[in-house]
Amino acid sequence: MTTPTLSARGLVKRYGHVTAIDGADFDLYPGEVLAVVGDNGAGKSSLIKALSGALVPDAGEIKVDGETVHLRTPIDARRIGIETVYQDLALSPAQDIAANMFLGREVRRTGPLRLVRKLDTAKMRTEAQRVLDELDIKVKSITQPVETLSGGQRQGVAVARAAAFGSKAVIMDEPTAALGVAESGRVLALIHRIRERGLPVVLISHNMPHVFELADRIHVHRLGRRVAVVSPETTSMNEVVGLITGALEVGENGAVREVEAAVHTGLSA
């Protein structure tokens, strides 16, 4: 059995009376694209926040390469090599592309200038350009403020940043939600390239065609927990939608089946 790169068991997170994560399990295996799907409010974003240190769960366990980890902040997760592209992208609009790529981990000059802790702007620009080129992300200039970029280009910068610094896994929360068809296509191509580099990717998405185009496995999240993991090769889009809404479930034999009304009404006994 392969050890998951990133896994979780029994995660719980409550906000007052709302249980955002209700005993959720999770497994991401080396080299795969895992799609996480579910209705609005199912708890997908909360789950990935727990996996990226942006929230600390009330209960449960997270493992990286089989070792238990305690992620107290996003910096803890980044140190381990888990990079996340949040729904709001977390970019600094007035700063240029290079500065955004190195946000929070600026390259300082070595030598005497280090005393004044001057940023090595030239080095950051060269490196940022190299990463954009490698991922085939086209921008006019690396010194453009991020606020002058299109939605797709901004998404590209956020994804490139994650791909550049991620050594373990890249997590993306709805990366194509705000994009047009052409821009979405470029982000999907980026995810392909990240996988080709051997980095596993967690893709949270509402978009079934995107999920079916990219995912090796599909994790279905409902009411705060994982209710199924299915293969896009053997499961149809309609079946995945049924699992999301709760009309369908995965039976003991692993096959997708209708949920019997009798089970709900307690008449089955």
Ligand X SMILES: Nc1ncnc2c1ncn2[C@@H]1O[C@H](COP(=O)(O)OP(=O)(O)O)[C@@H](O)[C@H]1O
Give the nearer residue to ligand X in terms of CB position, either 22 or 216: 22
175 binds, among Mg ion, ligand X, none (CB under 5 to 8 A by kind): none
**What Rg, from alpha-carbon coordinates, does the chain have?**
20
Residue placing its CB nearer to ligand X in the complex, 43 or 242: 43
Under the rule (CB under 5 A), what is the footprint of Mg ion?
A: 45
Considering CB distances under 5 to 8 angstroms, the limit depending on partner class, which of ligand X, Mg ion, none binds residue 15? ligand X
> Residue 14 CB, nearest distance to ligand X (Å)?
9
Q: How far is the CB of 65 from ligand X (least distance, A)?
A: 26
H helices of the chain, in order, are 44-51, 74-80, 97-101, 121-134, 151-165, 181-196, 208-214, 237-245, 261-265
Contact 195, 184 (CB under 8 A): no
Residue 25 and residue 7: Cα distance in Å, rounded?
7
User: Residue 164 or 244: which CB sits closer to ligand X?
Assistant: 244
Which residues lie near ligand X (CB under 6 A)?
Answer: 15, 18, 20, 38, 40-46
With respect to ligand X, which residue has the nearer C-beta, 135 or 220? 220
How far apart CA 252 and CA 42 sit, in angstroms, is 23
Q: Are strands 6-15 and 59-64 parallel, antiparallel or unpaired?
A: antiparallel
Look at residue 40 and give the partner it binds from Mg ion, ligand X, none, a contact being a CB closer than 5 to 8 Å depending on partner kind.
ligand X
